[in-house]
Amino acid sequence: MRSFSQSPTDPAFVQDPYPFYDRMRASGDLAYWEDYSLVCATSHRTVHALLRDRRFGREIPAELAQPVPDHLAPFYRIEDHSMLELEAPRHTRLRGLVLRAFTSRRIAGLGPEIAALAHGLIDGFDGPDVDLLTAFCQPIPVIVIARLLGVPDDMAPQLLRWSNDMVAIYQARRTRAIEDAAASAAEAFADFLRGYVDARRRAPRDDLLSQLIAAEEEGERLSLDELIATCILLLNAGHEATVHTMGNGIALLLSHDMTVTEATAARTAEEIMRHDPPLHMFTRYAYEDTELYGHRFARGDKVALLLGAAGRDPEVFTDPHVFAPGREPRPHHAFGGGAHFCIGAPLARLELQTALPILFERLPRMRLTEPPRFADLYHFHGLESLRVTL
Protein backbone atom coordinates (compact mmCIF):
# COMPACT_ATOMS: atom_id res chain seq x y z
CA MET A 1 0.00 0.00 0.00
CA ARG A 2 1.39 3.41 -0.96
CA SER A 3 1.51 6.31 1.47
CA PHE A 4 0.50 9.86 0.56
CA SER A 5 0.97 13.18 2.33
CA GLN A 6 -1.54 15.99 1.90
CA SER A 7 -2.74 18.52 4.47
CA PRO A 8 -6.56 18.69 4.37
CA THR A 9 -6.37 22.40 5.22
CA ASP A 10 -3.91 23.28 2.43
CA PRO A 11 -5.57 26.03 0.36
CA ALA A 12 -4.99 24.28 -2.97
CA PHE A 13 -6.47 21.03 -1.64
CA VAL A 14 -9.47 22.86 -0.17
CA GLN A 15 -10.25 24.33 -3.59
CA ASP A 16 -9.75 21.07 -5.51
CA PRO A 17 -9.12 17.79 -3.66
CA TYR A 18 -9.75 15.62 -6.73
CA PRO A 19 -6.19 15.47 -8.17
CA PHE A 20 -5.03 14.08 -4.82
CA TYR A 21 -7.83 11.51 -4.85
CA ASP A 22 -6.85 10.51 -8.39
CA ARG A 23 -3.25 9.87 -7.32
CA MET A 24 -4.35 7.77 -4.37
CA ARG A 25 -6.88 5.77 -6.40
CA ALA A 26 -4.33 5.08 -9.13
CA SER A 27 -2.16 3.30 -6.53
CA GLY A 28 -4.88 0.77 -5.65
CA ASP A 29 -8.17 0.28 -3.84
CA LEU A 30 -6.58 1.25 -0.53
CA ALA A 31 -3.98 3.94 0.21
CA TYR A 32 -2.48 5.38 3.38
CA TRP A 33 -3.10 9.08 4.17
CA GLU A 34 -0.20 10.11 6.38
CA ASP A 35 -1.76 13.34 7.65
CA TYR A 36 -4.71 11.39 9.12
CA SER A 37 -2.73 8.20 9.90
CA LEU A 38 -5.55 6.35 8.17
CA VAL A 39 -5.97 3.65 5.57
CA CYS A 40 -8.35 5.09 2.95
CA ALA A 41 -10.74 3.38 0.55
CA THR A 42 -10.35 5.29 -2.70
CA SER A 43 -12.22 3.32 -5.37
CA HIS A 44 -15.97 3.10 -5.98
CA ARG A 45 -16.02 -0.66 -5.42
CA THR A 46 -14.07 -0.51 -2.15
CA VAL A 47 -16.18 2.29 -0.69
CA HIS A 48 -19.33 0.42 -1.77
CA ALA A 49 -18.14 -2.80 -0.14
CA LEU A 50 -17.01 -1.25 3.14
CA LEU A 51 -20.24 0.72 3.57
CA ARG A 52 -22.08 -2.61 3.58
CA ASP A 53 -19.57 -4.85 5.37
CA ARG A 54 -20.94 -5.63 8.84
CA ARG A 55 -17.41 -6.39 10.05
CA PHE A 56 -16.97 -2.61 10.10
CA GLY A 57 -19.07 0.05 11.82
CA ARG A 58 -19.29 3.56 13.21
CA GLU A 59 -19.24 2.72 16.93
CA ILE A 60 -15.80 2.43 18.46
CA PRO A 61 -15.14 -0.96 20.12
CA ALA A 62 -15.86 -0.53 23.83
CA GLU A 63 -12.38 -1.57 25.00
CA LEU A 64 -10.82 1.15 22.80
CA ALA A 65 -13.04 4.05 23.87
CA GLN A 66 -11.15 6.92 25.48
CA PRO A 67 -12.41 9.09 28.36
CA VAL A 68 -14.24 12.20 27.17
CA PRO A 69 -12.51 15.45 28.16
CA ASP A 70 -14.61 17.49 30.60
CA HIS A 71 -14.96 20.41 28.21
CA LEU A 72 -16.54 18.12 25.57
CA ALA A 73 -18.96 16.30 27.89
CA PRO A 74 -22.06 18.26 26.72
CA PHE A 75 -21.25 17.46 23.09
CA TYR A 76 -20.80 13.74 23.68
CA ARG A 77 -23.94 13.52 25.78
CA ILE A 78 -25.68 14.10 22.45
CA GLU A 79 -23.32 11.95 20.34
CA ASP A 80 -23.77 8.97 22.70
CA HIS A 81 -27.41 8.73 21.58
CA SER A 82 -26.99 9.63 17.91
CA MET A 83 -27.95 7.01 15.30
CA LEU A 84 -24.98 8.08 13.20
CA GLU A 85 -22.53 6.87 15.86
CA LEU A 86 -24.26 3.61 16.85
CA GLU A 87 -24.48 0.07 15.50
CA ALA A 88 -26.91 -2.82 15.87
CA PRO A 89 -28.90 -3.61 17.89
CA ARG A 90 -29.36 -0.07 19.21
CA HIS A 91 -28.96 1.57 15.79
CA THR A 92 -31.54 -0.82 14.32
CA ARG A 93 -34.05 0.03 17.05
CA LEU A 94 -33.56 3.80 16.78
CA ARG A 95 -33.67 3.85 12.98
CA GLY A 96 -36.84 1.76 12.94
CA LEU A 97 -38.58 4.09 15.37
CA VAL A 98 -37.51 7.21 13.49
CA LEU A 99 -38.67 5.77 10.15
CA ARG A 100 -42.14 5.29 11.65
CA ALA A 101 -42.34 9.08 11.96
CA PHE A 102 -40.10 10.25 9.11
CA THR A 103 -42.25 8.55 6.46
CA SER A 104 -42.03 8.87 2.68
CA ARG A 105 -45.61 10.15 2.63
CA ARG A 106 -44.77 12.94 5.08
CA ILE A 107 -41.70 13.92 3.06
CA ALA A 108 -43.48 13.80 -0.33
CA GLY A 109 -46.16 16.10 1.03
CA LEU A 110 -43.56 18.82 1.58
CA GLY A 111 -43.12 19.53 -2.15
CA PRO A 112 -45.59 22.45 -2.36
CA GLU A 113 -44.24 23.93 0.87
CA ILE A 114 -40.63 23.79 -0.39
CA ALA A 115 -41.74 25.43 -3.66
CA ALA A 116 -43.55 28.22 -1.80
CA LEU A 117 -40.52 28.76 0.41
CA ALA A 118 -38.20 28.99 -2.63
CA HIS A 119 -40.49 31.54 -4.30
CA GLY A 120 -40.73 33.55 -1.09
CA LEU A 121 -36.96 33.69 -0.65
CA ILE A 122 -36.48 34.82 -4.27
CA ASP A 123 -39.16 37.49 -3.81
CA GLY A 124 -37.16 38.78 -0.86
CA PHE A 125 -33.81 39.07 -2.65
CA ASP A 126 -32.35 42.51 -2.11
CA GLY A 127 -30.65 42.69 -5.54
CA PRO A 128 -29.11 43.15 -7.93
CA ASP A 129 -26.23 41.31 -6.18
CA VAL A 130 -27.05 38.43 -3.84
CA ASP A 131 -25.13 35.78 -1.92
CA LEU A 132 -27.24 32.73 -2.75
CA LEU A 133 -25.54 30.65 -0.07
CA THR A 134 -27.02 32.72 2.76
CA ALA A 135 -30.12 34.02 0.95
CA PHE A 136 -31.32 30.75 -0.61
CA CYS A 137 -29.26 27.61 0.06
CA GLN A 138 -29.08 27.92 3.86
CA PRO A 139 -32.67 28.94 4.69
CA ILE A 140 -34.43 26.19 2.72
CA PRO A 141 -33.20 23.07 4.56
CA VAL A 142 -33.11 24.64 8.02
CA ILE A 143 -36.63 26.12 7.72
CA VAL A 144 -38.00 22.86 6.30
CA ILE A 145 -36.56 20.82 9.20
CA ALA A 146 -37.75 23.43 11.71
CA ARG A 147 -41.28 23.25 10.33
CA LEU A 148 -41.17 19.45 10.32
CA LEU A 149 -40.26 19.51 14.00
CA GLY A 150 -42.90 22.14 14.73
CA VAL A 151 -40.39 24.88 15.57
CA PRO A 152 -41.30 28.46 14.52
CA ASP A 153 -39.56 29.86 11.43
CA ASP A 154 -38.06 32.70 13.46
CA MET A 155 -35.97 30.13 15.37
CA ALA A 156 -34.27 29.01 12.13
CA PRO A 157 -31.28 31.41 12.41
CA GLN A 158 -30.54 30.19 15.95
CA LEU A 159 -30.87 26.55 14.92
CA LEU A 160 -28.44 27.29 12.07
CA ARG A 161 -25.89 28.82 14.46
CA TRP A 162 -26.09 25.84 16.82
CA SER A 163 -25.81 23.44 13.90
CA ASN A 164 -22.79 25.22 12.39
CA ASP A 165 -21.01 25.28 15.76
CA MET A 166 -21.63 21.59 16.37
CA VAL A 167 -20.61 20.22 12.98
CA ALA A 168 -17.40 22.28 12.97
CA ILE A 169 -15.97 19.76 15.43
CA TYR A 170 -15.73 17.19 12.60
CA GLN A 171 -13.57 19.45 10.43
CA ALA A 172 -9.81 19.18 9.94
CA ARG A 173 -9.38 22.78 11.17
CA ARG A 174 -10.68 21.77 14.63
CA THR A 175 -9.24 23.76 17.55
CA ARG A 176 -9.98 24.06 21.27
CA ALA A 177 -12.11 27.14 20.54
CA ILE A 178 -14.16 25.13 18.02
CA GLU A 179 -14.55 22.33 20.59
CA ASP A 180 -15.76 24.78 23.24
CA ALA A 181 -18.27 26.32 20.82
CA ALA A 182 -19.55 22.85 19.83
CA ALA A 183 -20.05 21.85 23.46
CA SER A 184 -21.83 25.11 24.27
CA ALA A 185 -24.09 24.77 21.22
CA ALA A 186 -24.91 21.15 22.06
CA GLU A 187 -25.94 22.11 25.59
CA ALA A 188 -28.09 25.05 24.44
CA PHE A 189 -29.65 23.02 21.62
CA ALA A 190 -30.53 20.17 24.02
CA ASP A 191 -32.05 22.55 26.58
CA PHE A 192 -34.19 24.16 23.88
CA LEU A 193 -35.44 20.83 22.54
CA ARG A 194 -36.11 19.46 26.02
CA GLY A 195 -38.68 22.21 26.49
CA TYR A 196 -40.26 21.46 23.12
CA VAL A 197 -40.49 17.75 23.88
CA ASP A 198 -42.22 18.48 27.18
CA ALA A 199 -44.69 20.78 25.43
CA ARG A 200 -45.48 18.20 22.72
CA ARG A 201 -46.00 15.45 25.27
CA ARG A 202 -48.62 17.62 26.96
CA ALA A 203 -50.22 18.80 23.71
CA PRO A 204 -49.29 16.73 20.61
CA ARG A 205 -49.54 18.36 17.18
CA ASP A 206 -49.29 17.21 13.59
CA ASP A 207 -45.51 17.54 13.42
CA LEU A 208 -42.51 15.24 13.29
CA LEU A 209 -41.58 15.81 16.93
CA SER A 210 -45.01 14.64 18.10
CA GLN A 211 -44.73 11.62 15.78
CA LEU A 212 -41.28 10.78 17.14
CA ILE A 213 -42.64 10.95 20.69
CA ALA A 214 -45.51 8.63 19.74
CA ALA A 215 -43.44 6.20 17.62
CA GLU A 216 -43.53 2.75 19.21
CA GLU A 217 -42.38 -0.72 18.21
CA GLU A 218 -42.99 -3.77 20.42
CA GLY A 219 -43.46 -1.49 23.40
CA GLU A 220 -40.22 0.41 22.75
CA ARG A 221 -40.13 4.19 22.43
CA LEU A 222 -37.42 6.80 22.09
CA SER A 223 -36.05 8.02 25.41
CA LEU A 224 -35.75 11.76 26.03
CA ASP A 225 -32.02 11.67 25.31
CA GLU A 226 -32.64 9.71 22.10
CA LEU A 227 -35.36 12.14 21.01
CA ILE A 228 -33.07 15.13 21.51
CA ALA A 229 -30.13 13.47 19.74
CA THR A 230 -32.38 12.44 16.83
CA CYS A 231 -33.79 15.94 16.34
CA ILE A 232 -30.29 17.44 16.44
CA LEU A 233 -29.01 14.82 13.98
CA LEU A 234 -31.89 15.47 11.57
CA LEU A 235 -31.13 19.18 11.58
CA ASN A 236 -27.32 19.00 11.56
CA ALA A 237 -26.94 16.26 8.96
CA GLY A 238 -29.83 17.43 6.79
CA HIS A 239 -28.90 21.08 6.87
CA GLU A 240 -25.14 20.75 6.44
CA ALA A 241 -25.29 18.35 3.50
CA THR A 242 -28.13 20.04 1.62
CA VAL A 243 -26.67 23.55 1.91
CA HIS A 244 -23.35 22.40 0.47
CA THR A 245 -24.97 20.32 -2.27
CA MET A 246 -27.28 23.12 -3.35
CA GLY A 247 -24.48 25.68 -3.32
CA ASN A 248 -22.05 23.41 -5.17
CA GLY A 249 -24.75 22.55 -7.70
CA ILE A 250 -25.77 26.12 -8.47
CA ALA A 251 -22.10 27.09 -8.85
CA LEU A 252 -21.51 24.17 -11.24
CA LEU A 253 -24.54 25.01 -13.36
CA LEU A 254 -23.67 28.70 -13.59
CA SER A 255 -19.98 27.99 -14.26
CA HIS A 256 -20.99 25.76 -17.18
CA ASP A 257 -23.69 28.16 -18.42
CA MET A 258 -26.31 25.48 -17.81
CA THR A 259 -29.84 25.62 -16.46
CA VAL A 260 -32.15 23.10 -14.82
CA THR A 261 -35.85 22.52 -15.40
CA GLU A 262 -38.46 20.43 -13.67
CA ALA A 263 -37.95 17.78 -16.35
CA THR A 264 -34.18 17.62 -15.86
CA ALA A 265 -34.06 18.20 -12.11
CA ALA A 266 -33.80 14.55 -11.00
CA ARG A 267 -30.78 13.70 -13.14
CA THR A 268 -29.16 17.06 -12.45
CA ALA A 269 -29.42 16.52 -8.69
CA GLU A 270 -27.82 13.08 -8.92
CA GLU A 271 -24.97 14.40 -11.08
CA ILE A 272 -24.31 17.25 -8.65
CA MET A 273 -24.04 14.78 -5.78
CA ARG A 274 -21.77 12.45 -7.75
CA HIS A 275 -19.54 15.19 -9.09
CA ASP A 276 -19.13 17.28 -5.92
CA PRO A 277 -20.68 15.64 -2.84
CA PRO A 278 -21.05 17.57 0.43
CA LEU A 279 -19.22 14.98 2.55
CA HIS A 280 -15.90 13.59 1.34
CA MET A 281 -14.85 11.27 4.16
CA PHE A 282 -16.79 8.77 6.28
CA THR A 283 -14.88 6.69 8.84
CA ARG A 284 -15.54 3.22 10.23
CA TYR A 285 -13.92 0.81 12.71
CA ALA A 286 -12.98 -2.82 12.11
CA TYR A 287 -14.85 -5.14 14.49
CA GLU A 288 -12.73 -8.21 13.81
CA ASP A 289 -9.40 -9.14 12.29
CA THR A 290 -9.91 -9.39 8.55
CA GLU A 291 -8.05 -9.06 5.26
CA LEU A 292 -9.47 -6.93 2.46
CA TYR A 293 -7.88 -5.77 -0.80
CA GLY A 294 -4.49 -7.04 0.33
CA HIS A 295 -4.51 -5.25 3.69
CA ARG A 296 -4.84 -6.83 7.11
CA PHE A 297 -7.22 -4.94 9.41
CA ALA A 298 -7.07 -5.62 13.15
CA ARG A 299 -10.04 -5.10 15.47
CA GLY A 300 -10.27 -1.40 16.28
CA ASP A 301 -8.42 -0.21 13.16
CA LYS A 302 -10.04 2.83 11.61
CA VAL A 303 -10.61 3.15 7.86
CA ALA A 304 -11.63 6.27 5.91
CA LEU A 305 -14.09 5.89 3.06
CA LEU A 306 -13.37 8.66 0.58
CA LEU A 307 -16.83 9.33 -0.84
CA GLY A 308 -15.50 12.19 -2.95
CA ALA A 309 -12.94 9.92 -4.60
CA ALA A 310 -15.49 7.17 -5.27
CA GLY A 311 -17.68 9.56 -7.29
CA ARG A 312 -14.83 10.30 -9.72
CA ASP A 313 -13.75 6.67 -10.29
CA PRO A 314 -13.10 6.21 -14.04
CA GLU A 315 -13.84 2.48 -13.70
CA VAL A 316 -17.49 3.38 -13.05
CA PHE A 317 -18.08 6.83 -14.54
CA THR A 318 -17.09 7.83 -18.09
CA ASP A 319 -15.16 11.12 -18.09
CA PRO A 320 -15.64 11.34 -14.30
CA HIS A 321 -14.31 14.90 -13.96
CA VAL A 322 -16.84 16.21 -16.48
CA PHE A 323 -20.02 17.67 -15.02
CA ALA A 324 -22.71 16.13 -17.22
CA PRO A 325 -26.26 16.44 -15.86
CA GLY A 326 -27.62 14.42 -18.79
CA ARG A 327 -25.54 11.34 -18.09
CA GLU A 328 -27.27 8.07 -17.26
CA PRO A 329 -27.34 7.96 -13.45
CA ARG A 330 -25.28 5.26 -11.76
CA PRO A 331 -25.15 4.58 -8.01
CA HIS A 332 -23.06 7.10 -6.09
CA HIS A 333 -22.18 7.32 -2.41
CA ALA A 334 -23.11 10.90 -1.53
CA PHE A 335 -25.72 9.49 0.89
CA GLY A 336 -23.47 6.74 2.22
CA GLY A 337 -24.81 3.21 2.07
CA GLY A 338 -25.72 0.09 3.98
CA ALA A 339 -27.24 0.36 7.46
CA HIS A 340 -26.21 4.01 7.70
CA PHE A 341 -27.66 5.12 4.36
CA CYS A 342 -28.81 8.71 4.94
CA ILE A 343 -32.28 8.69 6.43
CA GLY A 344 -32.89 12.17 5.02
CA ALA A 345 -31.96 11.31 1.42
CA PRO A 346 -35.56 11.52 0.10
CA LEU A 347 -35.96 14.98 1.67
CA ALA A 348 -32.61 16.23 0.32
CA ARG A 349 -33.51 15.04 -3.17
CA LEU A 350 -36.93 16.68 -2.95
CA GLU A 351 -35.42 20.00 -1.84
CA LEU A 352 -32.91 20.00 -4.70
CA GLN A 353 -35.39 18.86 -7.36
CA THR A 354 -37.95 21.44 -6.23
CA ALA A 355 -35.84 24.51 -5.46
CA LEU A 356 -33.28 24.47 -8.28
CA PRO A 357 -35.74 24.62 -11.22
CA ILE A 358 -37.64 27.44 -9.51
CA LEU A 359 -34.44 29.44 -9.00
CA PHE A 360 -33.31 29.10 -12.64
CA GLU A 361 -36.80 29.72 -14.04
CA ARG A 362 -37.32 32.84 -11.94
CA LEU A 363 -33.82 34.24 -12.58
CA PRO A 364 -32.84 33.24 -16.13
CA ARG A 365 -30.22 36.03 -16.41
CA MET A 366 -28.50 35.12 -13.14
CA ARG A 367 -24.70 35.11 -13.44
CA LEU A 368 -21.76 34.58 -11.10
CA THR A 369 -20.14 37.85 -9.99
CA GLU A 370 -16.94 36.13 -8.83
CA PRO A 371 -15.46 32.63 -9.08
CA PRO A 372 -16.87 30.49 -6.26
CA ARG A 373 -14.36 29.53 -3.55
CA PHE A 374 -14.62 26.56 -1.26
CA ALA A 375 -14.42 27.04 2.50
CA ASP A 376 -11.90 25.34 4.79
CA LEU A 377 -14.38 22.71 6.03
CA TYR A 378 -12.84 19.32 5.22
CA HIS A 379 -14.08 16.60 5.46
CA PHE A 380 -17.14 18.54 4.28
CA HIS A 381 -16.97 20.27 0.92
CA GLY A 382 -18.89 23.50 0.45
CA LEU A 383 -18.55 27.12 -0.60
CA GLU A 384 -17.57 30.22 1.35
CA SER A 385 -20.19 32.21 -0.55
CA LEU A 386 -22.08 32.17 -3.83
CA ARG A 387 -22.38 35.71 -5.12
CA VAL A 388 -24.49 36.30 -8.21
CA THR A 389 -25.92 39.21 -10.12
CA LEU A 390 -29.57 38.91 -10.94
Residue at 78: amino acid letter: I
Say how far apart CA 179 and CA 165 lie, in whole Å. Answer: 9
Q: Mean pLDDT, to the nearest integer, of 10-35?
A: 98
Dihedrals phi, psi of 296, to nearest 5 degrees:
-95, 115
- What local confidence, expressed as pLDDT, does residue 219 receive? 81
Confidence of residue 217 (pLDDT cuts 50, 70, 90): confident
What single DSSP character describes residue 329?
P
The model's pTM is 0.95
Among 371, 280, 247, 254, which Cα is nearest to 14's?
Answer: 280
C-beta separation of 147 from 153 below 8 A = yes
Domains of the chain: residue spans and CATH: 3-389 (1.10.630.10)
Q: Mean pLDDT, to the nearest integer, of 34-45?
A: 98
Residue 314 has pLDDT above 90, yes or no: yes
Confidence of residue 238 (pLDDT cuts 50, 70, 90): confident
Say how far apart CA 164 and CA 186 lie, in whole Å. Answer: 11
Say how far apart CA 223 and CA 124 lie, in whole Å. Answer: 40
Mapping DSSP onto H, E and C, the string for 60-105 reads CCHHHCCCCCHHHHHHHHHHCCCHHHCCCCHHHHHHHHHHHHCCHH
- What local confidence, expressed as pLDDT, does residue 348 receive? 96
Confidence of residue 220 (pLDDT cuts 50, 70, 90): confident
Say how far apart CA 297 and CA 290 lie, in whole Å. Answer: 5
- What local confidence, expressed as pLDDT, does residue 28 receive? 96
Reported as a single tens digit per residue, the pLDDT across 70-99 is 999 999 999 999 999 999 999 999 999 999
Q: Mean pLDDT, to the nearest integer, of 291-317?
A: 97
Say how far apart CA 170 and CA 343 lie, in whole Å. Answer: 20
Percent of the chain residues past pLDDT 70, beyond the cut: 100
Task: Give the distance from CA 62 to its chain's centroid.
Answer: 26
- What local confidence, expressed as pLDDT, does residue 227 receive? 94
Reported as a single tens digit per residue, the pLDDT across 103-145 is 888 899 999 999 999 999 999 999 899 999 999 999 999 999 9
- What local confidence, expressed as pLDDT, does residue 280 receive? 98
Handedness of CA 150, 207, 165, 387 (dihedral sign): negative
Confidence of residue 102 (pLDDT cuts 50, 70, 90): confident
Q: Mean pLDDT, to the nearest integer, of 327-356?
A: 95
- What local confidence, expressed as pLDDT, does residue 237 receive? 84
Reported as a single tens digit per residue, the pLDDT across 167-188 is 999 999 999 999 999 999 999 9
Kindly report the average pLDDT of the chain as a whole number. Answer: 95
Residue 37 has pLDDT above 90, yes or no: yes
Lowest-pLDDT range, 59-68, 111-120, 232-241, 349-358?
Answer: 232-241
Say how far apart CA 304 and CA 286 lie, in whole Å. Answer: 11
- What local confidence, expressed as pLDDT, does residue 302 receive? 97
- What local confidence, expressed as pLDDT, does residue 50 receive? 97
